[in-house]
């Protein structure tokens, strides 16, 4: 048996991320004990209507998130317990909502910093309704082998070490969350373990006191002894001593009280817990509490280190009287284990997972990304620039300073081409329509294709084809005319031999001064001589120039459009910012900017077979009469 929490407990957790974390820990306990998950839902208004996924063994359990306690209990009537994991400013309202619900009998609150007035009101409400309010600042409740409320008991391995998968004979009540785990472990090593362990919290006014739970343990035949862990401050330990000494009790009481060091420190100093504060006149001292408990008949070890032997002594006496039999423990390796996360299983060599993808350019598994093996910070500190990163990620090569300068000039010269080209125009229209930057720029990017910027890859492809095949310029043009069509990278709507594109002249002029080999650029320029002889606008345009130069630098064909995309993104972002800075309004084209070639307005012919309306029928009858 146990008290407060058992196999029939069904839990509603009030709170968001912290509550979900608690549910995960509770699911671990249920998995260990081969019990169904006792958490049935959450109350977290911001996510109401959604679900939270909780790992349970090797499965994920989807639990509903509700807007209110009333909604949760209406849909899941089995709920009888609530755990409060919300901030101190909302804890009172959350706990009161649970206490006033007819189906909920136990509310445990982990929230720290709850105002003392709120704690008193919640405690009074619970007592008025015959319910239990545990906390605030309570780590939770655990009944071995049956139920876990909160994170009490520690990590999964500690649940096993503390033998919490089965019932023992000792109850525990403690103010300290950390010490609760320690005492549970001590009971498993010096005795047969615990029935139920309760963390009541260290606030000055807890919702429930030692006596509340001592009376429950007294009525639980499985519990033979109870350990209370007290501390200086308040009077809960004195009340427990008075209760235990008032009459002969069935359970044996073991008590330890922390805070004797206060005798060497100034009066009134407060320790870790809000309630751990000795009075200015020595009231609530650890020594006084320990003496009262000892006089009431409790076993009070001299030091905390003597607690284990004291528990062992009581356990041996219980066994000698035949009240319990030492349990036959199951080997730890026979108990359910948590499935290893896939990363851990792969690392330990337990499983092999076929990779979903392969990356040959970047590794982000360390402290920082490695670009083709080079740490990003090292590249910065040694004077490398963005073009070098482009070379590593796009061409798997640490390019030379001269090559980096070429790339820098390509990016700068093609960053923007004014507001009237299709990509910029679409981005501007989107910006004026109130569309966010990412979507507006993406809309402009969609315009990149064979007729706008997207000719870089195709131009590089065909110039490389001609050079690799050792075609003469005229033979190349003949091949393109017969098999492909217009040569990508050749031709401009505005620029011509007489009105050259200065961007092209700038790029070619610089590259020719570097001494870099430029077979593809040279070939493209020879093709230009033939095409401009036919029509002066069939010049080598900026797409074709970029393509030829980049192929000469060794960049793969499939990467070439990336340079235009990268460069033009700078301009598109600029246009979006520019329109937003101006507060530009929605654009609608003027009528004179469109030619309307559709038919003029005309009469719509009657449609046979349409049922007549009631009015039409009446009108026809009237005419006939």
pLDDT averaged over every residue in the chain: 93
pLDDT of the residue at 246: 97
* Tens digit of each residue's pLDDT (9 = 90 or more) over 82-130: 999 999 999 999 999 999 999 999 999 999 999 999 999 999 999 999 9
- Rounded-to-integer distance, Cα 32 and Cα 55, Å: 13
Whether residue 526 has pLDDT greater than 70: yes
Q: How many CB atoms lie within 10 A of CB 317?
A: 13
Q: CB count, 10 Å around CB of 376?
A: 16
Contacts for 555 with CB less than 8 Å, ≥ 6 apart: 394, 395
Residue ranges, CATH 3.40.50.261, the chain: 11-334
Band (pLDDT 50/70/90 cuts) for residue 606 is confident
At 272 the pLDDT is 55
Query: Which pLDDT band holds residue 267 (cuts at 50, 70, 90)?
Result: low
- Measured CA to CA, the distance from residue 611 to residue 613 in angstroms comes to 7
How many C-beta neighbours within 10 Å does residue 110 have? 27
pLDDT-based confidence at 276, cuts 50/70/90? Answer: low
The per-residue pLDDT for 263 is: 62
How would you label 164-195 residue by residue, b for 16+ Cβ within 10 Å and e otherwise? bbbbbbbbbbbbbbebbbbbbbbbbebbbbbb
* pLDDT > 90 fraction of the chain, expressed in percent and rounded: 85
479 is catalytic: no
Torsion angles phi and psi, residue 141, rounded to 5: -135, 140
Please pick, among 31, 165, 264, 273, the residue that the annotation labels catalytic: 273
pLDDT at 546 over 90: yes
Q: Name the E strands within 80-220.
A: 81-84, 106-109, 132-134, 140-143, 147-150, 170-174, 194-199
CATH classification for the domain delimited by 11-334, as one of 3.20.20.140, 3.40.50.261, 3.50.50.60, 1.10.3720.10: 3.40.50.261
The single residue listed with the structure tokens 């009287």 is: 321
Which of 51-65, 129-143, 230-244, 251-265 has the weakest average pLDDT?
Answer: 251-265
pLDDT of residue 615: 80
Residue 281 scores a pLDDT above 60: no
| Per-residue model confidence (pLDDT) at position 360 | 96
- Assess contact for 152 and 197: CB atoms under 8 A: yes
Residue 559 CA: distances (Å) to CA of 357, 391, 408, 547, 556: 19, 11, 16, 10, 6
DSSP letter at 334 equals G
Taking every pair of Cα atoms in the chain, the longest distance, rounded to a whole number of angstroms, is 118
Task: Tell me what the mean pLDDT of segment 222-236 comes to.
Answer: 94
Instruction: Report helix, strand or coil for 214.
Output: helix
pTM of the model: 0.71
Two tokens at 585? 């309004």
Give pLDDT, residue 616. 76
237 φψ region: left (φ > 0), alpha (ψ -120 to 50), beta (else): alpha
- What does the chain come to in residues? 625
SS in 3 state form for 564-603? Answer: HHHHHHHHHHHHHHHHHHHCCCCCCCCHHHCCCCCCCCCC
411-454 pLDDT tens trace: 999 999 999 999 999 999 999 999 999 999 999 999 988 778 77
List alpha helices for 162-235, DSSP H.
Answer: 177-190, 210-218
């Amino acid at each position: 048996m146990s008290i407060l929490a058992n196999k029939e407990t069904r839990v509603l957790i009030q709170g968001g991320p912290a509550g979900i974390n608690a549910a995960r820990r509770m699911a671990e306990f249920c998995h260990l004990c081969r019990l169904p998950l006792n958490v049935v839902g959450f109350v977290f208004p911001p996510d109401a209507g959604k679900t939270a996924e909780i790992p349970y063994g090797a499965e994920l359990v989807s639990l509903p998130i509700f807007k209110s306690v009333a909604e949760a209990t209406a849909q899941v009537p089995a709920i009888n317990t609530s755990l409060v994991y919300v901030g101190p400013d909302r804890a009172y309202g959350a706990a009161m909502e649970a206490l006033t619900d007819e189906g909920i009998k136990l509310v445990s609150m982990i929230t720290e910093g709850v105002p003392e007035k709120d704690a008193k009101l919640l405690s009074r409400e619970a007592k008025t309704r015959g319910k239990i309010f545990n906390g605030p600042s309570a780590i939770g409740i655990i009944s071995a082998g049956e139920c876990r409320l909160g994170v009490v008991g520690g990590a999964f391995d500690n649940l096993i070490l503390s033998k919490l998968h089965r019932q023992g004979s000792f109850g525990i009540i403690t103010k300290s969350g950390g010490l609760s785990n320690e005492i549970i472990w001590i009971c498993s090593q010096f005795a047969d373990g615990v029935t139920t362990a309760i963390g009541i919290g260290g606030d000055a006014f807890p919702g429930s006191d030692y006596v509340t739970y001592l009376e429950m343990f007294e009525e639980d035949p499985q519990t033979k002894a109870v350990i209370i862990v007290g501390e200086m401050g308040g009077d809960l330990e004195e009340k427990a001593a008075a209760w235990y000494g008032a009459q002969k009790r069935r359970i044996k009481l073991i008590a330890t009280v922390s805070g004797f060091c206060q005798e060497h420190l100034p009066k009134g100093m407060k320790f870790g817990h809000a309630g751990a504060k000795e009075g200015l006149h020595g009231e609530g001292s650890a020594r006084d509490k320990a003496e009262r408990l000892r006089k009431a008949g409790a076993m009070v070890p001299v030091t905390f280190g003597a607690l284990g032997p004291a528990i062992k002594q009581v356990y041996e006496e219980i066994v000698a009287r035949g009240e319990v039999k030492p349990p036959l423990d199951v080997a730890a390796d026979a108990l359910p284990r948590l499935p290893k996360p896939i990363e851990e299983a792969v690392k330990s060599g337990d499983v092999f997972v076929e990779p979903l993808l392969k990356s040959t350019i970047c590794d982000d598994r360390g402290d920082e990304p490695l670009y083709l093996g080079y740490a990003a910070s090292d590249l910065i500190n040694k004077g490398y620039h963005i073009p070098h990163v482009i070379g590593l990620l796009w061409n798997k090569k640490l390019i030379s300073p001269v090559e980096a300068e070429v790339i820098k000039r390509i990016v700068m010269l093609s960053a923007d081409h004014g507001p009237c080209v299709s990509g910029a125009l679409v981005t501007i229209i989107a910006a004026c329509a109130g569309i966010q930057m990412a979507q507006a720029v993406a809309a402009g990017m969609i315009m990149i294709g064979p007729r706008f910027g997207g000719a870089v890859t195709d131009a590089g492809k065909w110039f490389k084809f001609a050079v690799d095949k050792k075609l003469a310029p005229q033979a190349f043009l003949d091949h393109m005319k017969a098999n492909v069509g217009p040569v990508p990278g050749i031709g401009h709507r505005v620029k011509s031999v007489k009105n050259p594109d200065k961007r092209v002249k700038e790029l070619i002029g610089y590259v020719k001064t570097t001494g870099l080999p430029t077979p593809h650029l040279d070939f493209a320029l020879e093709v230009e001589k033939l095409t401009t002889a036919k029509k002066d606008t069939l010049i080598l345009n900026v797409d074709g120039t970029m393509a030829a130069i980049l192929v000469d630098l060794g960049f793969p064909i499939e990467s070439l459009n990336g340079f235009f995309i990268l460069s033009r993104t700078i301009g598109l972002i600029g246009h979006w910012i520019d329109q937003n800075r101006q507060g530009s309004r929605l654009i609608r084209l003027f009528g004179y900017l469109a030619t309307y070639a559709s038919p003029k307005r005309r009469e719509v012919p009657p449609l046979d077979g349409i049922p007549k309306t009631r009015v039409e029928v009446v009108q026809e009858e009237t005419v006939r009469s």
